[in-house]
Structure 1
């Protein structure tokens, strides 16, 4: 019989990974994500895979974020040479993200080994290298939405728009099980239908088994218009108080949303700041990919941009300044007021945002805006949870800046949107909740039972079920 193994993003948000095995012996991996957050979770990235990479026939990727793709270079380092299927836009974004991730792995290992050498300890190896990432990228096979494709003997996939980031997909999988076809649907990360630029997630109705993400399974996001007005008020307040505004943001997805909204404020004459800095080489390159695939934007947003004669989101915000080099980034530190600084990483676990913390986080006139989810164990989560001081670049820094969280900017569906999406399936297929912290899953499980009379399962790590 066909089997499904739950290997990652089980009772936690990151590390998405599921293995499908058909009766005919086909083995297909669905996502191959990096675990992020607490140190013990990140340590799991170094453990051997729960399967032999050489035994896989294909890998299928839902979208480009590292918690869904970040272990692909490790898979390639382990000898995997089969195809990696993703949408066309995801294939391009993966190049950005995996090469950047490999660079970080190498740099972190080099930095750590300097400290270890002084203490007489043996050096460590990076999780993977740039060469491993390049090997994984050679295996990409782009597919378009709505096009069925056999990825292994008796296993056919079709991608549908998930509305989460550019290229994100709901993955529909048909597995031939002798004379029966078993029908699995993986939601991937479902988009928030209030998000700009992206289309709403596609609805499906047929499945035997559904895997449903539950990142925000316990609540709905604020109304999008309220969140936009809250951001506008924060920017006005920061302008009056004479401080900078820091926005830690994921380079792919959230940054493009922010540029769109700031551009709207600018076009409406409601942006008091003199400069917006995009201090993220990856986000700058991601903007170029978004521009190339602008035909995948929601029609209404394409029309708004076209009315101003622009196709590129960044042209909608003329005061945007991109700072690709370290020298450009360091020059921002001389600016004490009137700037909006967008930089990675989105959860403040590294990247240029931590350098801007060093110069701004301790200043009460500055504002720090979190536009998205902060995983447990990250620096961003510590600040959101009220830490009065944090360790940044080996220094203890006071948290005096004014902290704001804008849940309405989430690129994930809230509880009502999850219920609406899964409610389109006929006859209540077997339902498993994935990609969420346990308490969020339990809240969604309860809502499904109360509102849809549907019993959802919360799998255990490593659990295996028959399809």
Structure 2
């Protein structure tokens, strides 16, 4: 067995379930511990036995709060892990929100499953984890800041760098030692785009022996950001838009906050004063409060726009913004027939309050739906993007008369050009293993990297059973 090695346990040929087991001598640590997301068939894999003993882990190092990177932390704690979970301070704050929400969903799913099992005479099954399991995991978090070395033991230390993906997202730089051999490993986590809203650009220029690099959009670039802003401006300024309401399905962490920021910055240019703007998602509201708390992580433009008291400044810039916490406040929106912009979860229209708004409004020809994020196959959001004449909500087929806009350019992930730019800034041209990407994206990026950097060793995680360092 190699003394320093990495075994890839998740995000292999897919973009969920990030989980990589790093072994240094007798010590084992995990880089990320994410949920596998997608179809029922995909998600059932979360219940499969782990290929290692959680109690044997020394520590977990978390790149960011998204559930496909953090969502199995309560499960692994329940199964015996009791070491430290190292995470950026903002990541810890977001995880407290997201893991609780995930636990409630796990419990709700188990209740639905068990009702079906009871009718078949089958015994009940427990949820993957519950809120008590989340509460048991929280004391294990060890919040850290960027650029500060953290010593796990005499053989492993690391520090975080800003990945620019969501608030608190991290590139992990690890220094590993075993019997006089020192290796430097970079784990990219998820990288954000250059010149995106609110957050700083991803840091780079590191010296390393090897890079574990995400490849979500390795085969394409996003639409130009300026073109995206122009498209949003045209939607909000059109005469037809004022005749009805606008629904924006949005992911609660990252996308919702970007939209509010863009609304605040471009309120006058987009003539938003004539609208009532609703953020209708308790989770997005909580995440927004975390974003406002950690304003020191903003880029220069966002700091100039929102100042040192961003919560107060946001209210000044968007006096027509309302946070809808209660179900009653959410239901009241459906009594408004025109002049409302409704930002609601979930981002792919698979759950949450946006489904109720679609049920009330998508059959009206005065409604507009603005899609601002990725929509997976089989979701109601994807049906809207594909131009389907009906969508199914709670088993009911509902006619789509609304005008649907698909807006590119707001992705929180780096596109192909930005991924290449990030790697290009590493002077030592370290070998690369690609993770967190589907097969086409990875193969395209691998070919592009070999073309741009002749002689570069670049492989996909699926091709590497055990990476020896």
TM over 0.5: same fold?
yes
Please show how residues 331-346 of structure 1 align to structure 2 within 5 Å: 331-346=332-347
TM-score by length of 2: 0.94
Contact (CA 8 Å) 1:8, 1:461: kept in 2 or not? no
Aligned match of 1:81: 82
Aligned match of 2:144: 143
Aligned match of 2:317: 316
Contact (CA 8 Å) 2:281, 2:324: kept in 1 or not? yes
Distance in 1, matches of 2:204 and 2:336, equals 47
Give CA deviations for 1:307-343 in whole Å, capped at 9, x if unaligned.
9986554543111111111111111122222211111
Q: CA 1:217–1:311 in 2, change beyond 3 Å: closer, same or farther?
A: farther
Distance in 1, matches of 2:38 and 2:315, equals 31
Aligned match of 1:458: 460
Structure 1: 5+ residue stretches without partners = none
Distance in 1, matches of 2:400 and 2:166, equals 31
Give CA deviations for 1:161-192 in whole Å, capped at 9, x if unaligned.
01111111101111112211111101111111
Contact (CA 8 Å) 2:240, 2:366: kept in 1 or not? no
Q: CA 1:398–1:177 in 2, change beyond 3 Å: closer, same or farther?
A: farther
Distance in 2, matches of 1:33 and 1:451, equals 32
Aligned match of 1:202: 203
Contact (CA 8 Å) 2:211, 2:432: kept in 1 or not? yes
Count residues with an aligned counterpart.
466
Aligned match of 2:69: 68
Q: CA 1:36–1:388 in 2, change beyond 3 Å: closer, same or farther?
A: farther
Structure 2: 5+ residue stretches without partners = none
From 6, 10, 25, the equivalent of 1:8 is 10
Give CA deviations for 1:374-427 in whole Å, capped at 9, x if unaligned.
334444334334433332223222333222222211111111110000111223
Is 1:276 the counterpart of 2:250? The answer is no
Contact (CA 8 Å) 1:273, 1:339: kept in 2 or not? no
Q: CA 1:269–1:422 in 2, change beyond 3 Å: closer, same or farther?
A: closer
CA offset at residue 139 of structure 1?
A: 0.7
Of stretches 134-143 and 366-375 in structure 1, the one that deviates more from structure 2 is 366-375
Give CA deviations for 1:125-153 in whole Å, capped at 9, x if unaligned.
21110001111111110111000111244
Q: CA 1:170–1:309 in 2, change beyond 3 Å: closer, same or farther?
A: closer
Distance in 2, matches of 1:259 and 1:8, equals 33
Aligned match of 1:113: 114
Distance in 2, matches of 1:318 and 1:339, equals 14
Is 1:36 the counterpart of 2:37? The answer is yes
Distance in 1, matches of 2:443 and 2:274, equals 43
Query: 1:259 aligns to what SS in structure 2?
Result: helix
Contact (CA 8 Å) 1:372, 1:407: kept in 2 or not? yes
Aligned match of 1:259: 260
Is 1:178 the counterpart of 2:179? The answer is yes
Q: CA 1:254–1:403 in 2, change beyond 3 Å: closer, same or farther?
A: same
Distance in 1, matches of 2:228 and 2:49, equals 43
Query: 1:460 aligns to what SS in structure 2?
Result: helix
From 12, 19, 22, the equivalent of 1:20 is 22
Q: CA 1:118–1:332 in 2, change beyond 3 Å: closer, same or farther?
A: farther
Query: 2:460 aligns to what SS in structure 1?
Result: coil
Give CA deviations for 1:192-232 in whole Å, capped at 9, x if unaligned.
12321101111133111111111111111122111011011
Query: 2:267 aligns to what SS in structure 1?
Result: helix
Aligned-residue CA RMSD (Å): 2.0
Please show how residues 245-394 of structure 1 align to structure 2 within 5 Å: 245-268=246-269, 270-271=271-272, 273-306=274-307, 312-313=313-314, 315-394=316-395
Distance in 1, matches of 2:58 and 2:169, equals 22
Of stretches 91-100 and 449-458 in structure 1, the one that deviates more from structure 2 is 449-458
